[in-house]
Amino acid sequence: MVAFCLLGCDPTVKTAFLRSYVMYYYDVEKIKLVGWADQKAMRILFTNPLPVGNYQSTGNEKKAYDALCVKHNDMTYNRDFIIWDNGPHETKCLAVDFVSIDFVSDADFDDEHLAGSSLSDIIRFDTYSLKPYIESGYKPIADVNYDYFSIVEGLLSELAPNNLLTLLGHPYYNGAEIELSFIREPTLEKTHTFTVTMTPDDGREPFTASIEMTFD
């Protein structure tokens, strides 16, 4: 009765039959870094997300959307989905996947990480992805939010193309973000210009961004 009233009495609530769970794909042109030295953390932001295609697209946008659904093995959801006109619960992911993230500094961090060398073994990441949910066959899994985005995390040095950097998204807005945190503080230079390089899997030039941070 509650579900019937929800769908039948509220004009802002609709349903759609979805073949694929991801409803919208967005491309990105660049990344940006924001950081907090006192928290030993920074965030990779994917700026100005550009619509690529969605479950209602036609023409070339539908072809692009369908190709991404095939790529991510997201073709057998086949369920009704509640659509809220004024709500956030529409599943959205980046159209671009990444094969690696590199992280370096222009200054000596410690004796094991001199200027220009990778810091990936001392940087933790966490981000949201729909990959675990879709690969499970759309089965409920633990530790996910309403839209089945899982938090995936680990050291940058542990990344692999099959591990994380696909179907990135965010439960609450168009785009994605990756949180980065240092597992130790610098023991040599205190001021660093950090550069992040993300390599996409589609042959495009890597995405790069830099930020200066000074540690206490």
Provide the residue type at 201 as one letter: D
Helix, strand, coil percentages (3-state) for the chain, rounded to 5, are: 15, 40, 45
Q: How far apart are CA 28 and CA 51, in angstroms?
A: 9
- Other beta carbons within 10 angstroms of residue 83's beta carbon come to 16
User: What average pLDDT does the segment 162-174 reach?
Assistant: 68
pLDDT at position 83 = 76
Is a pLDDT exceeding 80 seen at residue 10? no
- Model confidence at 137, pLDDT cuts 50, 70, 90, reads very high
Q: What is the DSSP letter of 214?
A: E
Bigger pLDDT: 92 vs 122: 122
pLDDT at position 3 = 46
| Whole-structure pTM value | 0.85
pLDDT at position 149 = 82
pLDDT at position 128 = 85
User: What average pLDDT does the segment 77-91 reach?
Assistant: 75
pLDDT in tens, 95-125: 998 888 899 999 999 999 999 999 999 999 9
